[in-house]
Amino acid sequence: MVFATVYQGKRGKEFGEEVKETSLHLVPVLSTLGVSVHLGLTAAFLIPVQYSGTWYAMAKKDPEGLFLQDNVVAQFTVDENGQMSATAKGRVRLFNNWDVCADMIGSFTDTEDPAKFKMKYWGVASFLQKGNDDHWVVDTDYDTYALHYSCRQLNEDGTCADSYSFVFSRDPKGLPPEAQKIVRQRQMDLCLDRKYRVIVHNESEILPCCKVGLLITSCLEALLRWEVFGIVISDLEKVPDNNKNENFVLNENLKTKDS
């Protein structure tokens, strides 16, 4: 067991209580909407290899801007030295009505705080998000659930201006009741209760190009060539980028089916 003290503060007022943690850990300083949470870590922490494997995102707290919509599946890899990397797939909605599948890659760098990482991430397509965020694995039992939290941008006072969070499960069908109780409490500790949205896992809604594992650019090309959401797009041009990958640029020649 690892013991931590939770300090929740708003406008300078703080109180503390002792809580038990059963696993990975813990969030040193987090904040949202001006409410800060400090969990003092009392034991060093190294991610074990058993954290590796497939995790299904069950719920998310969205940041600002483009973000994964649903069918989010992450694959974490932890080597013998405790270094962690990850890939993630999910559906992203562009321009309010274009659904594409996103392939994301992430690497985690240790910091002086044993509970905190720097997570560098990028998508295989240039229009997907990139960043190097503060990242915490808040809690996990390795076999059932995991709660991740990231902060993209800080306010001048050190509180988090833009954050996101995922609740992961080993089972795509969801978390058992006991794990749900633990995760719910952690969300409250982070002052993020009622901020999460359920993530749907429905293979019937996954885009065909995502199922066959094509890269996002090929997926986007396929979508643009099809009549999707009642829009016909013509004069598709391929323009090579500096990395010799193909990006697809639309001419202004757009028209609806009825035109």
Closest CA to 21 of 138, 158, 163: 138
Domain count, the chain: 1
SS3 labels along the chain: CEEEEEEEEECCEEEEEEEEECCCCCCCEEEECCEEEEEECCCCCCCCHHHCEEEEEEEEECCCCCCCCEEEEEEEEECCCCCEEEEEEEEEEECCCEEEEEEEEEEEEECCCCCEEEEEEEECCCCCCCEEEEEEEEEECCCCEEEEEEEEEECCCCCEEEEEEEEEECCCCCCCHHHHHHHHHHHHHCCCCCCCEECCCCHHHCCHHHHCCCCHHHHHHHHHHCCECCEEECCEEEEECCCCCEEEEECCCEEECCC
- At residue 206, the pLDDT reads 55
Q: Which domain holds residue 157?
A: 48-211
Q: Is residue 231 one of the residues assigned to a domain?
A: no
What pLDDT does residue 82 have? Answer: 76
CATH number at residue 138: 2.40.128.20
DSSP assignment letter at 184? H
pLDDT at 55: 96
* 3-state secondary structure string across 209-232: HHHCCCCHHHHHHHHHHCCECCEE
Q: Provide the sign of the torsion angle of the four alpha carbons 199, 155, 128, 132, taken in this order.
A: negative
pLDDT of residue 25: 38
Ranges of the chain with pLDDT below 50: 1-45, 212-218, 221-259
- Name the DSSP letter for residue 188: H
Structural domain contains residue 11: no
Domain annotation covers residue 94? yes
Asked if the structure places residue 58 within a domain, the reply is yes
CB 75 within 8 A of CB 54: yes
Strands 53-61 and 197-198: antiparallel
At residue 239, the pLDDT reads 35
What pLDDT is stored for residue 210 in this prediction?
Answer: 58
Quick check: is 59 in a domain?
yes
